[in-house]
Amino acid sequence: MISYLKERWRLFRKYKQFLSIDFYNVPLELVYDFINTLDRNTTMSRVRKFKKWPVSKRLIKGESFHQMIMDREFEPGTFGDEFKKWTIKQENAAVDLFKISVEVAPRSKNPSKLFEAFQRQSMIQHDLMHFFNGYDTGTQGEVAVLSFHLGHEWKESWAFFILIGAWSSLMFSILPSKYPKGVPFLLWLRYIPIWYYIKICIEAYRRGKNSFDFFFVDWEDKFNKPLEEVKAEIGIKGPPKYWDKTRYSRVAWKYNARKRTRGH
């Protein structure tokens, strides 16, 4: 217990200046340190479970699912074709910091093939959550993915990031300085950030809870199936109800990100 508290106190003291509601560009060092500290035990437990999964032997010795997708051609309308097109779009090709949420620092300079395969599987799992749910790669889209993911497995760091986002959404909702220009006030009240932030997180968590764990799906077996058939097989039932209603609360995040970047 003492060690548990000391580690968390160290994180707070080291990074407290980055936990301001005005801070948008979270440094990579912070993300890695939080994940490595808070999730090490649960991640290693996940690695052991991955090792026992029969499909993992194929992924350790050969290509990842992502590489298979990029190297092959698929019939139009199939899951493989649609996901490949989604992957190569420029707006979804950017590096995504939250993809490292399931990673831990290697214990040596030469991590095992098992751990490398685990990391590759983690990456495509994260991307597929964006793809199947329609969440973008903005701040709220990442929070929605983390919430969905919590429906599959518990990660302390993800819960922490979601809570930080909730605090920021609350500040965006009540502080006049956070109000984005150009949005009618009554419309702002109707789509106030904190209200829809909570709705998004709850809905995403339930969608994750009611779907198969993406990490342990043999995606190669589904490449050539129609996309809608694959969605039904893994438990994805229609698009998220609240996501399209969050445009104005997402404007708040982008508006405050621009203000921070310009130094206002």
3-class SS letters over 114-137: HHHHHHHHHHHHHHHHHHHHCCCC
Minimal CA–CA distance to 211: which of 141, 155, 157, 149? Answer: 149
Per-position b or e across 81-118, b if 16+ CB within 10 A of its CB = bbbbebeeeeeeeeebbbbbbbbbeeeeeeeeebbebb
- Beta carbons within 8 Å of 257's beta carbon, 6+ residues apart: 24, 139
**Which amino acid type is present at position 13?**
R
Contact assessment for residue 263 and residue 241, using Cβ atoms and an 8 Å cutoff? no
Alpha-carbon distance of 29 to 203, in angstroms, equals 30
**What is the residue-level pLDDT of the chain in tens, covering all 264 positions?**
566 566 665 666 665 655 554 444 555 566 666 677 778 888 899 999 999 999 999 999 999 998 999 899 999 999 999 999 998 884 545 444 334 433 434 444 556 889 889 988 988 998 999 999 999 877 788 889 999 999 999 988 888 888 888 887 888 777 766 666 666 777 666 667 788 889 999 999 999 999 999 999 999 999 999 999 999 999 999 999 888 766 555 555 554 445 444 544
pTM of model > 0.85: no
**Residues of the domain holding 167:** 2-262
Structural domain count of the chain: 1
Main-chain dihedrals φ then ψ at residue 78, nearest 5 degrees? -80, 160
